[in-house]
Each structure stands twice: as C-alpha cells, then as structure tokens.
Amino acid sequence: MSSIGKLMKQAARMQQQMEQIQAQLALRTVEATSGGGAVKVTAKCDGSIASIKIDPAALNPADAQIVEDMILLAANQALAEAKEISNAEMGKATAGFSLPGM
C-alpha cells in the first residue's frame, strides 16, 4: 500500500477515535467549589457548564458581589479541570500520528 494510502487510513482511524472521545467527554463531568463549599459548579468535559449550586446560607443580598465572585471562581476551576481532561484524552488519540514535514 502506498504511503498516501496508509496516511489516509491512519487519518480516518484518528478521526473516528477523536469523535468517540468527544462523545465520551460530553458525558464526563467535574466539580469545583469555592467559598468553602458555598458554591459548587459542575462542568462537562466538552467545555460546558452542567450545573451551579449555591448554598442558601450564602445568599444574603448584601453579599451579592461575593457570591458572584465565588461562582466565577468555581466555574473557571471546573472548566480548567474539564479542559485538562479533554486535552489528555484527545492527546491519546493523536499519539503516534505524524505528518511528514511537520
């Protein structure tokens, strides 16, 4: 088989693996908290936020800015962890794939 044919098969196999990984990542979730657990954010490993939970005790109207900051912190932590997982899984699919000249 020609090297182009091998490369095309390898690329098709890698694309199929990446699609499977993306589907699996959409089902995986990670959680992060802030404010001593007052805010919990669950993110999917596809880069979306699945849920935000706030302890009712943290909802004093005078503390709105603090609660907003805790939500932002927890959301960013959850998304960062989800991105790490996604990158690791996608890296497994592309391991060993080399394009000539790159």
The full set of domains in the chain, from first to last, is 3-94 (3.30.1310.10)
Q: How many CA atoms are closer than 13 Å to the CA of 61, on its beta-carbon side?
A: 0
| Arithmetic mean of pLDDT, 72-87 | 87
* 78 pLDDT more than 70: yes
> What is the C-alpha separation between 30 and 67, in angstroms, rounded?
20
pTM of the model: 0.60
- Tokens for 80, please give them: 């960062």
Alpha carbon of residue 59 to chain centroid: 28
Query: Per-residue confidence at 101, pLDDT binned at 50, 70, 90?
Result: low
